[in-house]
């Protein structure tokens, strides 16, 4: 059939399309309607199908890879658990310490402990078995917080368990405070927190075990203090100083310990000092220099005058406590309290100050040391200790300056003035009224103000 001369119309064609031509001029356009199945094109559809198949394949591949990784990890954990000693319920105690994490929500009020640190949880039954059910034979010490026990996990790791007394209302706040702070701190001269246990009304902190216990157990014992030769004592002084520098300026937070004393300095097997017990500690902002409280907590004999009398505390309060510690370490004597006005008997600070003024500073040295020390090094440490216990805050050095003075034999140091709480003068700003309040607080807290005689 042929259509010519511009004809129009629709022709039903059932044969093959053969002998079709394209003319440069003339001819007619022929439009042919075919079934979709007979069209040979569809490139876009093919591309779409290829993309879909590729995506599905990739998803299946990634899912398989993820499954394989999880399977391998579980297999490794299972193998480790089978080769490690088991706890009371057959669970590896290593996994209890390293795998079960304490989430960053406070277990009391939902407050955040921190954004980053995670602390391992350990179950009560494991702690009970490790400490021989908290037996008296495992008791290391006690304080306002509660009791401290030695424990040994079944794989041999030794731990110290700080158990909150169930009758201690103040201890609960100290527990929360210590948990918030110590989990954020990492330093060789700070005790390391391994885990915690929170089980119904039981609250415990799990620390690394210190073989030589606390500094006061050696320092104030006639039998043990000879173990501390001068080199050990000097290293302990320097280690405590470095730990305080970390707390005051090198950590993410500025932390005031507020209860630095010999019993809160723990010693490992090498007599490396570790600052412990952060229940009273407070966090300062980087631009905050001082704070005030109406509730003075701490230990008499180590408190600075402005804190004991008026409740003001700062990094310089810790500096004062450090100075007392230095003089105790050198002398082997405990600063048992403030001066005693009625008996006119001096405390350790007064004794050391008088001997320093008279040019007899070496008479402060513990007699158990004999002549095994370097006189110039000891005198430098005494001078640093006296500078730290100055009555006025502005006269005390920072801990970074203390570290510099201790490690620099040729450093020029200022001469100390009369320390705080020395005989014959009232602390700055103390009136008769404040003196009577101080005496009242001594009675309430049952603090014994014992006298020290100068040698």
**CA-based nearest residue to 339, from 327, 349, 328:** 349
pLDDT at 78: 62
CA distance 262 to 325: 7
Whole-angstrom distance, CA of residue 226 vs CA of residue 210: 19
Q: Is 415 exposed, middle or buried (0-12, 13-18, 19+ CB in 10 A)?
A: exposed
Which two structure tokens, joined as six digits, stand for 232? 């050990």
Query: Distance (Å, rounded) from C-alpha 46 to C-alpha 4?
Result: 40
Using the predicted structure, report yes or no on whether residue 18 has a pLDDT greater than 70.
Answer: no
Distance of CA 212 to the CA centre of its chain: 21
**Does the pLDDT of residue 308 top 60, yes or no?**
yes
Return binding residues for ATP.
162
Q: What angle do CA 283, 288, 294 make, to 5 degrees?
A: 65
> Do residues 338 and 350 touch, judged by C-beta distance below 8 A?
no
Task: Give the pLDDT mean for 100-110.
Answer: 37
Query: What percentage of the chain has pLDDT greater than the value 90?
Result: 42
Name the architecture of domain 215-444.
Orthogonal Bundle (1.10)
pLDDT, position 214: 93
Region of poorest pLDDT, from 140-154, 243-257, 312-326: 140-154
Please report, in angstroms and rounded to a whole number, the separation of the first and last CA atoms in the chain: 138
pLDDT tier at 356, thresholds 50, 70, 90: very high
Q: What value does the mean pLDDT take over residues 342-363?
A: 87
The widest CA-to-CA distance across the chain, in whole angstroms, is 140
Average pLDDT over residues 403-409: 94
**Are 417 and 390 in contact, with CB atoms under 8 Å apart?**
yes
Residue 198 and residue 273 in contact, taking contact as beta carbons nearer than 8 Å: no
Domain segments of the chain as ranges: 93-208, 215-444
Residue 264's nearest CA partner among 255, 273, 253 is: 273
Q: Which of 269, 260, 453 is nearest to 354 (CA)?
A: 453
Q: Which two tokens stand for residue 94?
A: 């290593």
What six digits make up the tokens of 42? Answer: 């569809």
Nearest to 347 by CA among 270, 453, 237: 453
**Per-residue pLDDT, 430:** 46
For every residue of the chain, which 3-state class applies, written as one string?
Answer: CCCCCCCCCCCCCCCCCCCCCCCCCCCCCCCCCCCHHHCCCCHHHHHHHHHHHHHHHHHHHHHHHHHHHHHHHHHHHHHHHHHCCECCCCCEHHHHHHCCEECCECCCCCCECCCCCCEEECCHHHHHHHCCCCCHHHEEEECCCEEEEEEECCCCCEEEEEEECCCCHHHHHHHHHHHHHHCCCCCCCECCEEEEEEECCEEEEEEECCCCCEHHHHHCCCCCHHHCCHHHHHHHHHHHHHHHHHHHHHCCCEEECCCCCHHHEEECCCCCEEECCCCCCEEECCCCCCEECCCCCCCCCCCCHHHHHHCEECHHHHHHHHHHHHHHHHHCCCCCCCCECCCCECCHHHHHHHHHHCCCHHHHCCHHHCCCCCHHHHHHHHHHHHHHCECCHHHCCCHHHHHHHHHCCCCCCCCCCCECCCCCCCCCCCCHHHHHHHHHHHHHCCCCCCCCCCC
Q: Which of 35-39, 92-96, 184-188, 348-352 is predicted least confidently?
A: 92-96
The span from the CA of 453 to the CA of 455, in Å, is 6
Which residues does residue 142 pair with via DSSP β-bridges, in sequence order?
147
CA distance 427 to 390: 11
> Which superfamily does 93-208 belong to?
Phosphorylase Kinase; domain 1 (3.30.200.20)
Among 39-53, 310-324, 364-378, the minimum mean pLDDT is found in: 39-53
250 is catalytic: no
pLDDT at 69 over 70: yes
More confident residue, 289 or 407: 407
pLDDT of residue 338: 65
Annotated binding-site residues read 162
Determine the Cα angle at 389 with ends 385 and 392, to 5°: 145
Q: How far is CA 327 from the centre of its chain?
A: 27
More confident residue, 261 or 23: 261
pLDDT of residue 2: 54
The larger pLDDT score, comparing residue 165 to residue 265, is at 265
The residue annotated as part of the active site, out of 19, 229, 259, 287, is: 259
Phi, psi of 260 (to 5 degrees): -80, 120
Q: At residue 87, does pLDDT exceed 60?
A: no
* Average pLDDT of the chain to the nearest whole number: 78
Of all residues in the chain, the percent with pLDDT exceeding 70 is 70
Q: What is the pLDDT of residue 449?
A: 31
Give the number of other Cβ atoms within 10 Å of residue 184's Cβ. Answer: 17
Residue 357 is predicted with a pLDDT of 94
Q: Sort residue 133 into left (φ over 0), alpha (ψ -120 to 50) or beta.
A: left
Structure-token pair, residue 418: 């009369």
Note the pLDDT of residue 244: 97
Average pLDDT value for residue range 54-76: 88
Give how far the C-alpha of residue 427 lies from the chain's centroid of Cα atoms, to the nearest Å: 34
pLDDT at 446 over 60: no
In this predicted structure, the answer to whether residue 191 has a pLDDT above a threshold of 50 is yes
User: If you average pLDDT over residues 280-309, what whole number do you get?
Assistant: 82
């Amino acid at each position: 059939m042929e259509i010519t001369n511009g004809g129009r119309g629709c022709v039903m064609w059932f044969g093959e399309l053969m002998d079709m031509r394209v003319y440069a001029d003339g001819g007619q356009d022929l439009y042919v309607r075919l079934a979709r199945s007979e069209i040979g094109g569809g490139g876009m559809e093919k591309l779409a199908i290829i993309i879909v198949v590729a995506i599905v394949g990739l998803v299946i591949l990634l899912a398989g890879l993820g499954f394989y990784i999880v399977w391998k990890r579980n297999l490794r954990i299972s193998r480790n658990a089978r080769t490690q000693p088991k706890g009371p319920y057959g669970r590896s105690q290593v996994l209890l310490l390293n795998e079960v994490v304490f989430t960053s929500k406070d277990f009391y009020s939902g407050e955040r402990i921190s954004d980053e640190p995670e602390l391992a949880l350990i179950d009560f039954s494991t702690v009970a078995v490790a400490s021989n059910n908290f037996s008296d034979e495992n008791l290391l010490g006690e304080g306002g917080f509660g009791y401290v026990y030695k424990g040994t996990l079944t794989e041999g790791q030794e731990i110290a368990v700080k158990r909150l007394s169930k009758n201690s209302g103040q201890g609960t706040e100290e527990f929360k405070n210590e948990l918030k702070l110590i989990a954020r701190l990492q330093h060789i001269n700070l005790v390391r927190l391994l885990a915690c246990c929170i089980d119904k009304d039981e609250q415990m902190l799990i620390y690394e075990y210190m073989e030589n216990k606390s500094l006061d157990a050696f320092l104030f014992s006639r039998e043990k203090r000879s173990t501390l030769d001068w080199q050990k004592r000097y290293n302990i002084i320097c280690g405590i100083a470095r730990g305080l520098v970390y707390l005051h300026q090198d950590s993410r937070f500025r932390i005031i310990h507020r209860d630095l004393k010999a019993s809160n300095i723990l010693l490992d097997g090498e007599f490396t000092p570790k600052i412990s017990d952060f229940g009273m500690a407070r966090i300062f902002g980087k631009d905050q220099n001082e704070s005030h409280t109406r509730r003075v907590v701490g230990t008499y004999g180590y408190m600075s005058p402005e804190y004991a009398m008026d409740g003001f505390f700062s990094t310089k309060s810790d500096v004062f406590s450090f100075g007392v510690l230095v003089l105790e370490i050198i002398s082997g004597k405990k600063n048992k309290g403030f001066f005693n006005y009625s008996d006119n008997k001096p405390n350790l600070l007064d004794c050391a100050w008088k001997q320093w003024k008279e040019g007899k500073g070496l008479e402060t040295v513990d007699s158990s040391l004999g002549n095994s020390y370097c006189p110039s090094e000891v005198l430098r440490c005494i001078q640093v200790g006296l500078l730290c216990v100055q009555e006025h805050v502005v006269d005390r050095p920072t801990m970074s300056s203390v570290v510099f003075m201790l490690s620099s034999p040729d450093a020029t140091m200022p001469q100390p003035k009369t320390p705080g709480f020395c005989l014959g003068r009232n602390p700055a700003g103390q009136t008769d009224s404040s003196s009577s309040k101080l005496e009242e607080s001594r009675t309430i807290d049952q603090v014994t103000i014992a006298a020290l005689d100068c040698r």
